[in-house]
Amino acid sequence: MAKKVVLGFSGGLDTTFCVKHFEEKGYEVHSIIVNTGGFSEEELKNIEHHAYKLGVKTHTTVNAVKGYYDTIIKYLIFGNVLKNNTYPLSVSAERLSQALHIGEHAKKLSADAVAHGSTGAGNDQVRFDMIFHIMIPGIEIITPIRDLKLSREEEITYLKSKGVDMNFAKAGYSINKGLWGTSVGGKETLNSKGILPEEAWPTQVTKKDSEEVKLSFVKGELKAVNDKVFDHPTEAIQYLQTIAGPYGIGRDIHVGDTIIGIKGRVGFEAAAPMVILKAHHALEKHVLTKWQLNWKDQLALFYGNWLHEGQILDPVMRDIEAYFISSQQQVTGDVFVLLQPYRFQIIGIESKYDLMSAKFGKYGEMHTGFTGEDVRGFSKIFGNQTSIYHKVKESE
């Protein structure tokens, strides 16, 4: 009886090679694609057709967009997570969602092996392997591209020998699209200097005039854009992307530390994620206390780094998520944002939980809760220990 292998399948060159390779080795191949917001219905149908044409036993399409938000993206928003203060973890976050679904599928089919098309050069190999080791311990993990150290040309030659008919032309730029942003890799990102040209960006700049948008949050989640209410935050994110994307907002190049110890550069465009994160943070600064914000920042830094490195199943992540949820109970209100070509600006917020409310006083002018004499005494007490320290130091 043939061994059963579950293959994470995108329909590209690497995973196409994997199907034919496994077929040659006598495996029964079960392909699966996990959509985290980067594929249209037509694209998914074409990928399914391609998989069956290659000879897979079964092909499964998982619509993971809402689950991806509920288990990962929601917490990246709650934490205002930007890797190295730049990158919204567009690809790293979705790879974890994909790995989890592939692992579940392998369990369901009682597969003998699980496979992915990662090379030996990047982060994805670690993310997939580690999650499989945790979820389905003992199962064989096969990675033909990494194991055989294949070049692109060698893959193409092999597939042509097997009669595979597909577009082998390599695009000038490698593009990975998902709900939480699109990564763009090209020759300019392979070195420490270089910027992607205008034509490399998937979303072209077509809007020239400024535009104001209103983002409405309820307990930290985006529920409406310009008073248009959505059933699920994923729909609000996608709608905002159609508004902000054509401004060229959210374009940047991230320089990051990979899990395997090397540095790398990748371009990305993430209009909706960047606007949402900054708007959400602006609202938090008005409605949360100083120490809520302080501890959130510290926990979010760790959470983002640990998620980037594939550690989504570490129980500490659930603990931090619990804190994030608790912190969002009063993060409700409207944030007003001005969109312009290549940039945006937070205009302000309106919230019933605003701690800057004028009924408590105005900064630099007056306060209703204390007098100048109260401050005079408070200042002495507040600096008392430091004052003692310096007096002791001087006496010595």
- Residue-level pLDDT at 120: 83
In whole numbers, what is the pLDDT of the chain averaged over residues? Answer: 94
CA distance 246 to 40: 19
List CB contacts of 391: < 8 A, sequence separation 6 or more.
none
DSSP 119: -
Q: What is the pLDDT of residues 344-357, one digit of tens each?
A: 999 999 999 999 97
Residue 63: which H helix or E strand, with range?
strand 58-63
Residue 168, pLDDT above cutoff 90: no
* pLDDT above 70: residue 361: no
Dist CA 142 CA 116 (whole Å)? 7
| Nearest Cα residue to 10 out of 174, 126, 160, 141 | 174
- pLDDT tens digits, one per residue of 93-124: 999 999 999 999 999 999 999 999 998 878 99
Residue 119: CB atoms within 10 Å: 13
Please report which confidence band the pLDDT of residue 258 belongs to, taking 50, 70 and 90 as the band edges. confident
* Per-residue pLDDT, 366: 62
Cβ burial, residue 327 (10 Å; 0-12/13-18/19+): buried
Element (H, E) at 6: strand 4-8
Mean pLDDT of 132-147: 96
Q: How far does CA 383 lie from the centroid of its chain?
A: 43
Ordered by where they begin, the domains of the chain are: 4-161 (3.40.50.620), 175-288+330-350 (3.90.1260.10)
pLDDT of residue 359: 67
Instruction: Report how far Cα 59 is from the mean position of its chain's Cα atoms.
Output: 26
The percentage of the chain sitting over the pLDDT mark of 90, rounded to a whole number, equals: 87
- Strands 343-350 and 333-340, by their bridges, are antiparallel
Residue 81 has phi, psi (to 5 degrees) of -80, 120
Per-residue confidence band for 333, with pLDDT thresholds at 50, 70 and 90: very high
Q: In Å, what is the CA distance from 210 to each residue of 101, 191, 336, 338, 340?
A: 41, 34, 13, 7, 5
Q: Among 49-63, 76-90, 114-128, which is the least confidently predicted range?
A: 114-128
Which of 29, 19, 8, 37 lies closest to 132 in space, CA to CA?
8
Tokens (6 digits) for 120: 């030996």
Dihedral of CA 131/132/136/137: which sign?
negative
Q: Is the pLDDT of residue 276 over 60?
A: yes
Q: How far apart are CA 159 and CA 201, in angstroms?
A: 30
Distance CA 310, CA 95 (A): 9
Residue 363: pLDDT band with limits 50, 70, 90: low
The dihedral region occupied by 329, where left means phi > 0, alpha psi between -120 and 50, and beta the remainder, is alpha
Kindly state the tokens that stand for 226.
Answer: 């310009």
62 touches 90 (CB < 8 A) = no
Residue 32, strand partner residues: 8, 60
C-alpha to C-alpha distance for 145 and 99, rounded to whole angstroms: 17
Dihedral of alpha carbons 141, 142, 147, 153, sign: negative
341, 207 Cβ separation under 8 angstroms:
yes
> First CA to last CA across the chain, in angstroms?
86
